[in-house]
């Protein structure tokens, strides 16, 4: 049993290694008691009520005496006399904003409840999870707040979301509704976030948590390149292998807010949820509003273990469909090979070259539709451009398949070009504020997905093509952030609902399309990794990590991304040199090594390879086919951080430790430098492992304690090792 309810209203949530405890204090207020390493039984916690000072606003009538909400570690802060960051802000029709949410009841549910219209972790059988459902009630306002805690004990995670129910007879305006808030008694923590920019996504930022507020978020209508909906709190000195870490990740792809606040007495509040300052939602009598889910991970075993827990749960209970476990094809994408300048012949030639190298899928990127010759037109007109592809899509797909390569196609369904049939016919279908300018980004506007007619149009366009053409893969791109907010369909009092209604609309479209076409592999993209989040992963098991394909840049991007998201979710391509984004020249082997730690693809003119390079690529492709199951299903250990030194190193190991692949990249050559070693992790110390290339045998403990020598000569050099464990009889246990 993972949820224990005490009669004194103490709730103890237990996972394999953690405990999370909340309690009703003074018979009324829901308090946070503890989150950390697993304990057996908590004691009841009225001690929490005792603190206050003479300058505090007191709560009346609370059992034994007076106390201040401002001192309480609260489970879901709703303001009142607590001056710290609230999770909920509402406004009643009479203009009042005061609430008083008191404990009403609690129940334990087997399994979990789905969140209406939104992505969330799932269970395959009820016994995988238990859910604590606590109801708080604001009598005067006619509101009920439902707090849901799903405990997946085997996977070691707890998730939270809330539902606000309007049981009164008047409308209520909700101005803020977060998914979680956690109060810590002390504030001696550091925090990690993942800021970035286009081409430089999810770099790691670590700093001390300080007095006052530290906030992150997005107001761009997408989770964004600029900040990821993830944060971690760490005990001082916590590192990859040891130390307390609390990780929070929001399963949502739109605007979000998260942060920390250290109060007057040094307590810390951490919070996370959807929406920004502009969010507002009108809740009619009888209606409910549900927030997205936050996945929460605690471990004492450092950042590495936090990541492995996130990866495990996402691979097992977030990704869906036939590709969730792997089996993803090696692809070639024509974008950096041709950009908009292609025709049927070029694409078929690329497919033939791909087949020759063992590549399994060709992706036709942007430019195949309408009259699109550059990025100034045709988004929304999802009809093939017969000037470029006179035989049409069907003939092209058949021709490509004939060459033994599968066919994939790029779409940007959420957008419209002002120069398009669609825009001329429906100028009000885009997001815009009445009578004001419509600012362009990459010459395009965002379709208003809060509208049912727009959603139906998009679904029909995609469905028609996917039903009539043999398409095995779709790249779902999205290349601008929202601006000039406004919807022609929403009434004035609901205009600020647009960003969230857009996300609900997007999720509805993606659910319908992916369910209708379960055999298609969908890869999400947003100008590279501008929407790399758990919300998108629920519909599409892989995401284009960044438009920056330089392997050295990718070391930082993929390392940062791996804090939360599994390598199986990351699209990673070998591209040409000089690299189109950075101008850097790197060895083909290093480009391969970095891309092989994700979903391997090639994105360059394959015909431009020399014979020698072709041989090398063939070997990479062959090698990847042999290790990809491990890449998709294995566990990641980060061994050396590019943010901290001249080397980046990582390994991916089977969960049963029977084999692993380890990689290292040297950023800059060192002349006459010291000896460098990479120490492995997570191996069977007592067992022997064989290097599958050199056949040399090492002890597991030796690999972990002494490590392997990194002997690389030159800038941007790399090395990949493959090891299998040996049985006592000397048999290789990973059949590579
Ligand atoms: C942005 C994507 O990230 C690129 O890979 C490419 O698909 C372009 N869009 C096409 O417009």
Report how far residue 482's alpha carbon sits from residue 479's, in angstroms, rounded to the nearest whole number: 10
- Cα 39-312-508 angle, rounded to 5 deg: 115
The backbone region for 712, taken as left when phi is positive above 0, alpha when psi lies in -120 to 50, beta otherwise, is: beta
Give the mutation target among 337, 527, 546, 599 for probing the ligand 1 site: most ligand atoms within 8 A of CB.
Answer: 527
Average pLDDT over residues 671-676: 92
The mean pLDDT of the chain is: 96
688 in contact with ligand 1, CB cutoff 6 A: no
pLDDT digits (tens, 9 = 90+) for 439-448: 999 999 999 9
Closest Cα to residue 558, out of 522, 583, 603, 591? 591
Average pLDDT over residues 76-81: 90
477 catalytic? Reply is yes
Average pLDDT over residues 552-563: 98
* C-beta atoms surrounding 127 within 10 Å: 10
541 in contact with ligand 1, CB cutoff 6 A: no
70 catalytic? Reply is no
Nearest CA to ligand 1 atom 11: 366
pLDDT digits (tens, 9 = 90+) for 572-631: 999 999 999 999 999 999 999 999 999 999 999 999 999 999 999 999 999 999 999 999
Give the distance (Å) from ligand 1 centre to CA of residue 310: 28
Residue 60 has pLDDT above 60, yes or no: no
Report how far residue 690's alpha carbon sits from residue 711's, in angstroms, rounded to the nearest whole number: 19
Give the distance (Å) from ligand 1 centre to CA of residue 477: 7
Cβ-contact 56, 70 below 8 angstroms? yes
Give the distance (Å) from ligand 1 centre to CA of residue 35: 42
Give the distance (Å) from ligand 1 centre to CA of residue 552: 20
366 in contact with ligand 1, CB cutoff 6 A: yes
The phi and psi torsions of 408 (rounded to 5 degrees) equal -130, 155
Give the distance (Å) from ligand 1 centre to CA of residue 369: 15
The phi and psi torsions of 596 (rounded to 5 degrees) equal -75, -5
Three-class SS string for 55-98? CCCCEEEECCEEECHHHCCECCCCCCCCCCCCCEEEEECCCCCC
Ligand 1: atom nearest CA of 375 is 11
Give the distance (Å) from ligand 1 centre to CA of residue 580: 13
Residue 61 has pLDDT above 60, yes or no: no
Catalytic residue from among 156, 365, 477, 533: 477
408 in contact with ligand 1, CB cutoff 6 A: no
Give the distance (Å) from ligand 1 centre to CA of residue 527: 6
Give the mutation target among 473, 525, 572 for probing the ligand 1 site: most ligand atoms within 8 A of CB.
Answer: 525
Ligand 1: atom nearest CA of 526 is 3
Looking at residue 51, its pLDDT comes to 62
635 in contact with ligand 1, CB cutoff 6 A: no
Percent helix / strand / coil, the chain, rounded to 5: 20, 35, 45
- Find all residues with CB under 8 Å of 301, minimum gap 6, and list them: 241, 242
pLDDT digits (tens, 9 = 90+) for 176-208: 999 999 999 999 999 999 999 999 999 999 999
Catalytic residue from among 547, 548, 684, 688: 547
Strand 647-653 to strand 635-640: parallel, antiparallel, or no bridges (unpaired)? antiparallel
335 in contact with ligand 1, CB cutoff 6 A: yes
Looking at residue 519, its pLDDT comes to 97
Looking at residue 259, its pLDDT comes to 98
Residue 63 has pLDDT above 80, yes or no: no
Ligand 1: atom nearest CA of 410 is 7
Instruction: Kindly state the tokens that stand for 469.
Output: 């053409």
Ligand 1: atom nearest CA of 547 is 3
Nearest CA to ligand 1 atom 2: 527
Query: Does the pTM exceed 0.85?
Result: yes
pLDDT digits (tens, 9 = 90+) for 227-253: 999 999 999 999 999 999 999 999 999
Average pLDDT over residues 4-30: 91
Nearest CA to ligand 1 atom 9: 527
Nearest CA to ligand 1 atom 1: 527
Report how far residue 209's alpha carbon sits from residue 192's, in angstroms, rounded to the nearest whole number: 10
476 in contact with ligand 1, CB cutoff 6 A: no
Give the distance (Å) from ligand 1 centre to CA of residue 366: 7
pLDDT digits (tens, 9 = 90+) for 425-469: 999 999 999 999 999 999 999 999 999 999 999 999 999 999 999
Give the distance (Å) from ligand 1 centre to CA of residue 240: 34
Looking at residue 67, its pLDDT comes to 74
- The secondary structure of 346-373 as a DSSP string is HHHHHHHHHHHHT--EEEE-S-SBTT-S
Ligand 1: atom nearest CA of 544 is 3
Report how far residue 429's alpha carbon sits from residue 528's, in angstroms, rounded to the nearest whole number: 25
412 in contact with ligand 1, CB cutoff 6 A: no
368 in contact with ligand 1, CB cutoff 6 A: no
Residue 490 has pLDDT above 70, yes or no: yes
410 in contact with ligand 1, CB cutoff 6 A: yes
pLDDT digits (tens, 9 = 90+) for 381-390: 999 999 999 9
Report how far residue 645's alpha carbon sits from residue 168's, in angstroms, rounded to the nearest whole number: 59
Give the mutation target among 201, 333, 335, 573 for probing the ligand 1 site: most ligand atoms within 8 A of CB.
Answer: 335
Q: How far is CA 623 from CA 376, 593, 611, in A?
A: 41, 11, 18
């Amino acid at each position: 049993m993972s949820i224990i309810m005490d009669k004194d209203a103490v709730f103890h949530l237990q996972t394999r290694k953690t405990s999370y405890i909340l309690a009703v204090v003074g018979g009324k207020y829901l308090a946070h008691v503890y989150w950390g390493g697993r304990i057996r039984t908590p004691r009841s916690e009225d001690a929490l009520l005792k603190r206050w000072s003479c300058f505090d606003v007191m709560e009346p009538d609370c059992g034994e005496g007076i106390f201040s909400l401002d001192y309480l570690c609260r489970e879901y802060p709703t303001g009142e006399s607590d001056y710290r960051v609230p999770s909920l802000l509402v406004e009643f029709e009479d203009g009042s904003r005061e609430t008083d949410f008191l404990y009403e009841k609690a129940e334990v549910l087997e399994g979990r409840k789905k969140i209406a219209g939104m992505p969330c972790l799932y269970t395959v059988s009820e016994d995988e999870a238990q859910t604590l459902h606590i109801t708080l009630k604001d009598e005067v306002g006619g509101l009920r707040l439902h707090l849901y805690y799903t405990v997946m004990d085997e996977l070691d995670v707890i998730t939270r979301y809330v539902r606000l129910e309007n049981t009164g007879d008047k409308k209520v305006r909700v101005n803020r509704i977060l998914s979680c808030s956690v109060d810590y008694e002390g504030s001696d923590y550091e925090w990690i976030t993942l800021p970035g920019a286009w081409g430089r996504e999810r770099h790691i930022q670590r700093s001390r948590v300080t007095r006052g507020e530290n906030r992150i978020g997005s107001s761009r209508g997408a989770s964004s390149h600029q900040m990821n909906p993830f944060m971690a709190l760490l005990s001082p000195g916590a590192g990859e292998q040891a130390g307390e870490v609390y990780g929070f990740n929001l399963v949502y792809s739109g605007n979000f807010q998260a942060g920390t606040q250290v109060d007057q007495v040094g307590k810390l509040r951490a919070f996370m949820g959807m929406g920004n300052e502009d969010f507002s939602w009108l809740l009619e009598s009888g209606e409910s509003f549900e927030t997205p889910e936050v996945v929460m991970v605690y471990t004492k075993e450092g950042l590495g273990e936090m990541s492995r827990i996130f990866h495990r749960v996402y691979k097992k209970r977030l990704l869906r469909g036939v590709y969730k476990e792997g089996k993803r094809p090696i692809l070639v994408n024509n974008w950096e090979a041709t950009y908009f300048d292609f025709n049927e012949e070029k694409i078929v030639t690329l497919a033939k070259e791909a087949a020759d190298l063992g590549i399994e899928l060709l992706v036709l990127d942007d430019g195949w539709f309408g009259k699109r010759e550059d990025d100034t037109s045709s988004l929304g007109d999802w009809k093939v451009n017969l000037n470029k592809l006179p035989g049409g899509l069907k003939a092209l797909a058949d021709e490509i398949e004939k060459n033994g390569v599968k066919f994939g196609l790029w779409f940007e369904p959420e957008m419209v070009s002002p120069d398009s049939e669609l825009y001329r016919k429906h100028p009000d279908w885009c997001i815009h504020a009445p009578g004001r300018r419509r600012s362009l980004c990459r010459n395009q506007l965002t379709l208003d997905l809060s509208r049912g007619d727009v959603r139906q149009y998009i679904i029909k366009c995609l469905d028609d093509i996917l039903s009539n053409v043999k398409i095995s893969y779709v790249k779902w791109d999205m290349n601008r952030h929202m601006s000039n907010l406004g919807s022609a369909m929403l009434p004035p009092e609901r205009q600020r609902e647009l960003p969230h209604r857009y996300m609900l609309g997007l999720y509805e479209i993606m659910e319908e399309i992916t369910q209708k076409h379960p055999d298609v592999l969908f890869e999400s993209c947003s100008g590279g990794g501008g929407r790399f989040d758990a919300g998108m992963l629920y519909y599409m098991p892989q995401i284009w990590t960044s438009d920056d394909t330089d392997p050295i840049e990718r070391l930082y991007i993929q390392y940062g991304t791996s804090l939360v998201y599994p390598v199986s979710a990351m699209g990673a391509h070998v591209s040409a040199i000089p690299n189109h984004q950075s101008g850097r020249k790197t060895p083909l082997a290093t480009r391969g090594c970095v891309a092989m730690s994700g979903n391997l693809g090639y994105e360059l003119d394959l015909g431009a390879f020399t014979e020698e390079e072709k041989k090398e690529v063939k070997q990479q492709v062959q090698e990847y086919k042999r290790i990809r199951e491990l890449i998709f299903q294995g566990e990641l250990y980060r061994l050396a951080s590019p943010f901290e030194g001249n080397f980046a190193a990582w390994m991916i190991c089977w969960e049963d430790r029977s084999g692993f692949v380890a990689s290292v990249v040297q950023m800059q050559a060192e002349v006459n430098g010291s000896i460098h070693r990479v120490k492995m992790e997570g191996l069977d110390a007592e067992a022997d492992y064989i290097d599958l290339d050199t056949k040399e045998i090492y002890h597991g403990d030796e690999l972990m304690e002494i490590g392997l020598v990194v002997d690389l000569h030159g800038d941007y050099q790399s090395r990949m090792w493959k090891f299998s464990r040996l049985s006592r009889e000397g048999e290789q246990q990973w059949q590579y």
